[in-house]
Amino acid sequence: MSTLLTIGEAARHSGLSAKMIRHYEQSGLLGKAPRTDAGYRLYNSQQLQQLGFIARARKLGFSLAEIQSLLQLWQDPTRESRSVKQLAEQHLADIDAKISELQQMRETLAALADSCAGDSKPHCSILQQLAP
Rounded Cα distance between 79 and 58, Å, is: 22
Domain range list for the chain: 1-79, 80-132
Q: Which long-range contacts (CB under 8 A, 24 or more apart) does 15-24 make?
A: 15/55, 16/51, 16/54, 16/55, 21/51, 24/51, 24/54
What is the average pLDDT value for the chain, to the nearest integer?
Answer: 94
pLDDT tens digits along 63-102: 999 999 999 999 999 999 999 999 999 999 999 999 999 9
Task: Flag whether the pTM goes above 0.75.
Answer: yes
Looking at per-residue pLDDT, the higher value among 1 and 39 belongs to 39
**The architecture CATH gives domain 1-79:** Orthogonal Bundle (1.10)
